[in-house]
């Protein structure tokens, strides 16, 4: 495991069977442009790992040699040519045959994002 991920034990458990179902996670584990910010709270469904035609924001990991080297979230949707992915989280859509072809392993789906409305 890389030293950078040692500080984030929650990341290592993303793909583990114990990390399933609906879970509340920090936005810092799934930042996505202006859609999900570090201070947000996110309700994620870790049983939903297939991109659908309705689309939405999906959680993903990138692995190298079986180790997680990056994690995040991106809007994705199925289309006639495969899967469309907003690769930057800011409206830059690209089409791939599958999320795997883009290098993403989909590990969950964002159901709700909660953001503080307090002014400091």
For the chain, the structural domain boundaries read 3-114
Of 62, 93, 61, nearest to 75 by C-alpha is 93
CATH class given for the domain over 3-114: mainly beta
Q: What is the pLDDT along the chain (120 residues), one digit of tens a residue?
A: 344 444 444 444 444 444 689 999 999 889 898 999 999 999 999 999 999 988 999 999 998 898 888 889 999 999 999 999 999 989 999 999 999 999 999 999 999 999 988 766
* Whole-structure pTM value: 0.81
Give the DSSP letter of residue 28: G
**Token pair of 100 as six digits:** 């795997």
């Amino acid at each position: 495991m890389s030293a950078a991920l040692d500080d984030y034990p929650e990341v290592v458990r993303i793909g583990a069977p114990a990390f399933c179902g609906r879970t509340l996670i920090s936005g810092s584990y799934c930042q996505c442009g202006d859609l999900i910010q570090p201070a947000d709270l996110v309700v994620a469904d870790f049983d939903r790992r297939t991109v659908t035609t309705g689309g939405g924001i999906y959680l993903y990991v990138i692995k190298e040699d079986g180790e997680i080297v990056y994690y995040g979230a991106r809007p994705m949707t199925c289309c006639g040519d495969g899967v469309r992915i907003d690769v930057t989280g800011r409206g830059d859509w690209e089409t791939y045959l599958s999320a795997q072809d883009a290098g993403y392993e989909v590990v969950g789906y964002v159901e709700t994002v909660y953001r503080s409305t307090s002014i400091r």
